[in-house]
Amino acid sequence: MESSYVHGGRAALLTDLQDEIRVLGRTALIALGSSDHPVLYTTDADGRRVAVVAVRIGGEWWFIWGKRGQAPAAAPGRAARMLVRHPRSDVVDLFARRPRARGFRTGWAEAA
């Protein structure tokens, strides 16, 4: 898939990467998509959450993650393969880790 790096900014780049990650069978979501600093979250081969950002370095766009992870944004498929390492998804859905309400009002509607 051709990258949108010539057509848009960070959000477009991360959307391309998200599509490639999903093709490989992984879950990926973009947080703060309408802001100036969107972040893509996915999981690595061990099931750990990984945050990916798009940055412009020396006139070129790059995907950056972890301590040493990087790939040119012009090749989102390659970046997705580096992140995923294998095409099988066997990790917990990222949405399952969302915060839940706590405290006195938790479950009060069910009791009524």
- Domain ranges in the chain are 10-91
Binned at pLDDT 50, 70 and 90, residue 100 comes out as: low
- Answer with the residue of higher pLDDT: 8 or 7: 8
How many Å separate Cα 24 from the centre of its chain? 13
Question: Can you give the pLDDT at residue 3?
Answer: 45
Weakest-pLDDT range from 13-22, 50-59, 90-99: 90-99
DSSP type of residue 14? H
Strands (E), 1-112: 29-31, 39-43, 49-57, 60-65, 69-72
Spell out a b/e string for 54-66, using b for 16 or more CB atoms within 10 Å of the CB, else e.
beeeeeebbbbbe
The pTM of the whole model exceeds 0.75: no
